[in-house]
Structure 1
Amino acid sequence: MESYLPIAYISGLLGLLAIAVVTVFRQVLKTQKIEKALSRLQGKLSKEKGTAQEYYELGSILLDKRIYVQAIAQFQKAIKAETLEGLELAAVYNALGFTYFSQEQYDLAIRNYKEALKLAPDYVTALNNLGHAYERKQLAAPALEAYEQALTIEPNNQTSKRRAESLRKRLVPSA
């Protein structure tokens, strides 16, 4: 029985190593795909006018890389292209709001989340983001209102449930 212990230990280590190798390999492939898309889009858009979708895609990549100023410029170009509407345009405004939020520019974030909601009133992600921005500005009542509105649309939304519950506890002190 004791002779199996080293074999089991080594097998376990090899299993963990295999999992680590697969995880690293997948991350490398994902990173290469993103870098290739970034290079392709930057190359194309530096030479010619792009589509709103291309500007949005480039802005999203730049946002993921935390290159906020350039991401904002790309999202604004997507909006100015005037070819998106409805939920697609709302997604651009939401992404623009999130970019401003990431830079702690909460008033600009709120303005863009509200624009997204004008276009798509049932856009739960924008409602959650709006609530979060209000929370960061210490505006608990409007934050709770945004989360509750999200819950009327999507009653099982875990983010809205958790944040609304936390805000209710703060706004209504226990007796």
Structure 2
Amino acid sequence: MDNSLAIFYLSLLLALLAVAGWAVVRQVFKTRKVESVLSRLQNKLQNDKCTTQEYYELGSIYLDKKLYTQAISLLQKALKAEDAGEETLAPIYNALGFAYFSQEQYDVAIRNYKEALKIVPDYVTALNNLGHVYEKKKLTAQALESYEEALKREPDNATAKRRAESLRKRLVPST
């Protein structure tokens, strides 16, 4: 009886170690891939001009690393790049909005999110981000309007559902 219990615990421990090992190896490969892309893009940026997509990719990596000032600089270069087409501009404006939002420059963030929505009116991510920045500015009605617009375009959007429900509760006067 004691022997089988020890074998069970040992098996459980090995299973947990295997899962943890798999997670670590997966994270190492993911990080290595990002660092490889980062290195390649930084080298390209030093040697010649990058394309809109390359500026955007590098800016996105800097956003992930919370290097907002560098990200803003690269994303602005992406907007000015010669090959910048209409379809690529909306995600760039959205990313710029996120960078400014992260630095608590809410008005500039709003301007960038709205710019993204001018280009692609049904850009749900930008609508959610716009709602979030309105919430931070305590503009509850505008935030709710933004989330409801996102829900019109994507009814199953979990973020917009959750935030809109929360805001509706705040706006309804208690009796």
Compute the TM-score of the two structures, normalised by the length of structure 2.
Answer: 0.97
**Alignment correspondent of 2:38:** 38
Counterpart code for 1:66: K
3-state SS of 1:156 partner: coil
Question: After superposition, what is the alpha-carbon deviation per residue over 1:28-47, rounded to whole angstroms, capped at 9, x for unaligned?
Answer: 11111111111110111111
2: CA distance, partners of 1:164 / 1:82: 39
Aligned residue for 1:3, secondary structure, equals helix
1:49-69 CA distance string (max 9 Å, x none):
110000000000011001111
Q: What is the match of residue 89 of structure 1? A: 89
Hey, what does 1:140 align to over in structure 2? 140
Confirm or deny: 8 A CA contact 1:93 1:115 kept in the other structure: yes
Equivalent residues in 2 for 1:143-162, closer than 5 Å? 143-162=143-162
C-alpha separation between the residues in 2 aligned to 1:156 and 1:87? 24
Aligned position for 1:118: 118
2:7 matched residue in structure 1:
7
Q: How far off is 1:104 after superposition? A: 1.1
- 1: CA distance between counterparts of 2:2 and 2:158? 49
For 2:22 and 2:99, how far apart are their aligned partners in 1? Answer: 32
Give the match for residue 102 of structure 2. Answer: 102
Q: How many angstroms does 1:172 deviate by?
A: 1.4
Length-normalised TM-score, structure 1: 0.97
The list of structure 1 runs, each at least 4 consecutive aligned residues, that deviate by more than 4 angstroms after superposition, is none
Partner of residue 28, structure 1: 28
5+ residue gaps, structure 2, are none
| Matched residue type, 1:99 | A
Per-residue displacement from partner, 1:78-102 (whole Å, max 9, x unpaired)?
Answer: 1011533344210010011001111
What is the rounded CA distance, in whole Å, between the counterparts of 2:123 and 2:95 in structure 1?
A: 13
Deviation readout 1:93-134 (Å, 9 max, x if unpaired): 001100111111111111100000000000000000000000
Aligned partner of residue 155 in structure 2, secondary structure: coil
Contact 1:86–1:120 at 8 Å: present in 2 too? no
Cα distance in 2, alignment partners of residues 161 and 85 from structure 1: 32
- Which amino acid in 2 is paired with 1:128? N
Report the Cα distance in structure 2 between the residues aligned to 1:47 and 1:156, rounded to whole angstroms.
45
- How far the C-alpha of 1:140 sits from its partner, in A, is 0.4
Identity %: 67
Q: CA deviation at 1:143?
A: 0.5
Cα RMSD, aligned residues only: 1.0
